[in-house]
Amino acid sequence: MQPAGAIAVGTAVGEHTAAGQPASADPVQVAEGDVEQMLEGETIKHAWVDVAGAERREFPLNDPKILEIAGYTEWLSYEPGESVRLFVHTTAPTYDIEIFRDGLKPLKVWSQTGVRGVRQQTPENAYAVGCGWGAPVEVPVDTAWPSGFYLVILRALGPTGATIEREAGFVVRPRKGERKNRIALVVTTATAAAYNDWGGANSYRSIVDGRSTLIHSPKLSLQRPWGRGFLRLPAGAPRHCDTPDLEPFAAPYYPYVDWALAHGYSRHYPDAGWAYYERPFVCWAEHNGYGLDYFTQHDLHFRPDCLDGYACAIVTGHDEYWSWEMRDTIEDFTRKGGNVARFGGNFIWQIRIEDGGRTQVCYKAHDPMSATSPRRSTVPWDTKIVNRPGATTFGLTGLGGIYVRTGATTPRAPGGYTIYRPDHWVFDGTDAYYGDMFGAAPARILAFEVDGVDYTFRNGLPYPTHVDGAPESLEILAMAPAVRGEPRPRHGRMVMAPITEMPSKENWPMFYDIPNIEYGAAMMSVMIAGIGEVFNSGCCGWMEGLARGDRVVTAITRNVLDRFVQGRGRGNKE
């Protein structure tokens, strides 16, 4: 349904199109020209501030001579009929707002020009306490707006006519009790929040005594903009799957970090967020006629009944961070017969959500709550203190795998899965044979982070050992070697790629509850949960297979979705 007054704008606001569709030749909405440029009497640049320690952060300079704009919404999701409060900081006297329902054919649903600009004051530690900006712009969510991800483009106009653009975004849920589609897409807002480094800190780095450090911030505010690239990316932004094989004796490197630094994007843009992860999946789903209702991980936390009535819930991309309550909602859904398709990877950390949803907490170690509520400690799910194995919800756990083709971890792996159970229904129609590989170049679905479980081989077939809580019903369908952290020195130093994610025993002792810290496996699996079924791709890069037309990835995705949307749980199908 097209909302009244909506204007179709082609593939203008993003990078990806569905498999088989030509990529947009002219992603006109991406302002390439706003990479630093000097104009007479006016400086246009990103609000990047150099920070001691050879790093930098995205943070308002608040200099009236420098054109900058940033914004965030009060909440991550809204229901039709509610009002979005949009907080914007800009040094421009006026700015424009455009809101699109993003996807295969982005649809402009709302705009306002000549909005009076407000220079906001921002606390130094806004990443932890929030920006606290005032004078919000109120945007009513029209009851005709379909559930979806809505991209807010903020465009500031400088006195010489130059413009700069930044983004905010929010999910529109279906109206309570209304189910337009059989599938619910859960947008991975908790993992995006963990990687969002706007203001200089996230769950991997922070600013201590004025220096950028690799010490994570245990508290992260959702009351701040998203890092540049989390919501919108230009065509050509490097992707994990495009990293070439490591040449013999060459030093591992990360091309996307170089690109991000060169073009003024967050170095974490390929780690999490709508633009990199959910959007390519959504474009494929829309092109192939799969209707989706949208929720966020935070909706699972605060609205435990939000998945009721759906046949299938999808999580896609990178979903490393979950709260206890979010897991409860997924497990309750499958217990009652819902099916879950997880086209995602890297299930590791427990988080807590505080301040009514405004703050995300992940200490990673030494959580003060460990003394009073040890099971709610924000450490890996697989640690003894929490004792809620990651594998019990989706079948696999991040600590069973972690990295493929990242830095020094399997840098010459082909990036695809080897098939071990070709007769399983997920492979129907693919002509699969034992030993086939799928998902390799150009898609390289296994590049970056993956999940697995402890396993053994019998008669040429992999079986879970269940020592890590892997469910009895878990079937391992395909596998590839993975590395949890590369401990051997390379080029005179320990690479442990990425070094920021490999904890030292001294700092993060809880990690070392887990045996065999070095080698693991990526796995694709299916399990029974309650009276529902759970498919798990076990990798963050599944959508690359869809976007690049991998025949087997596409067929598996169709098989999973077509089976899962037809009925309520396994009991109705077998």
The terminus-to-terminus CA distance of the chain in angstroms comes to: 36
Distance of CA 411 to the CA centre of its chain: 22
Which of residues 339 and 350 has its CB atom nearest to Fe ion in the complex? 350
CB 444 within 8 A of CB 241: yes
Interior CA angle at 295 toward 294 and 296, to 5°?
Answer: 135
Of residues 78 and 403, the one with the C-beta less far from Fe ion: 403
Tokens for 368, please give them. 């003060």
Per-residue tokens: 199 = 């203001």
> At residue 552, what are phi and psi to the nearest 5 degrees?
-75, -40
Q: How far is the CB of 209 from Fe ion (least distance, A)?
A: 27
Question: CB of 258: closest distance to Fe ion in angstroms?
Answer: 20
H runs (alpha helix) in 169-310 = 189-195, 255-263, 279-287, 297-302
Helices and strands (DSSP H and E) totals, the chain: 9, 35
Q: Which is nearer to Fe ion, 399 or 474 (CB)?
A: 399
3-state secondary structure of 43: strand
CB nearer to Fe ion: pick between 165 and 320 = 320
User: Please, what is the minimum distance in Å from the beta carbon of residue 477 to Fe ion?
Assistant: 23
Asked if 516 and 443 count as a contact pair (C-beta separation under 8 A), the reply is: no
Nearer to Fe ion, 338 or 345 (CB): 345
Q: How far apart are CA 508 and CA 155, in angstroms?
A: 43
Distance CA 289, CA 269 (A): 28
CA distance 326 to 297: 7
**CA–CA separation, 145 vs 3, rounded Å?**
6
Q: Which regions of 25-144 does DSSP assign to beta strands (E)?
A: 37-39, 42-44, 48-51, 55-58, 66-67, 69-73, 77-78, 83-90, 94-101, 107-116, 137-140
Question: At which residue do the structure tokens 């936390």 appear?
Answer: 301
Of 320 and 486, nearer to Fe ion (C-beta) is 320
Q: How far is the CB of 497 from Fe ion (least distance, A)?
A: 12
Minimum distance, C-beta of residue 413 to Fe ion, in the bound complex (Å)? 18
Q: In angstroms, give the least distance from the CB of 449 to Fe ion.
A: 5
- Which of 103, 398 has the CB closer to Fe ion? 398
Q: How far is the CB of 195 from Fe ion (least distance, A)?
A: 8
Q: What are the residue ranges of helices labelled H in 351-426? A: 391-394
How many other CB atoms sit within 10 Å of the CB of residue 488?
9
Spatial separation of the C-alpha atoms in residues 21 and 287, rounded to whole Å? 9
Chain position carrying tokens 């690359």:
544
Least distance (Å) between residue 82 CB and Fe ion: 32
Q: At closest approach, how far in Å is the CB of 184 from Fe ion? A: 23
Q: Among all residues, whose Cβ is closest to Fe ion?
A: 320
Q: Which is nearer to Fe ion, 80 or 395 (CB)?
A: 395
Measured from the CB atom, the residue of 203 and 554 that comes closer to Fe ion is 203
- Shortest CB 202 distance to Fe ion, Å: 11
Nearest residue (CB) to Fe ion, 78 versus 347: 347
Residue 345 CA to residue 348 CA, distance in Å, equals 9
Nearer to Fe ion, 197 or 320 (CB): 320
Residue closer to Fe ion (CB basis): 311 or 404: 404
Closer by beta carbon to Fe ion, 181 or else 297: 297
Least gap, CB of 571 to Fe ion (angstroms): 35
135: left (phi over 0), alpha (psi -120 to 50) or beta: left
d(CA 323, CA 234): 32
**Residues near Fe ion, by CB under 5 A:** 320, 346, 449
Distances (CA, A) of 281 to 252, 472, 509: 29, 30, 37
Alpha carbon 178 to chain centroid distance? 26
CB of 410 to Fe ion, least distance (A): 16
CB of 420 to Fe ion, least distance (A): 26
CB neighbourhood size of 513 (10 A): 15
- The radius of gyration computed from the CA coordinates of the chain, to the nearest angstrom, equals 23
- Residue 403 or 438: which CB sits closer to Fe ion? 403
Amino acid at 447: A
- Compute the least distance from the CB of residue 401 to Fe ion, in Å: 11
**Contact status, residue 433 vs residue 421, Cβ threshold 8 Å:** no
State the Cα–Cα distance between residues 448 and 186, nearest whole angstrom: 21
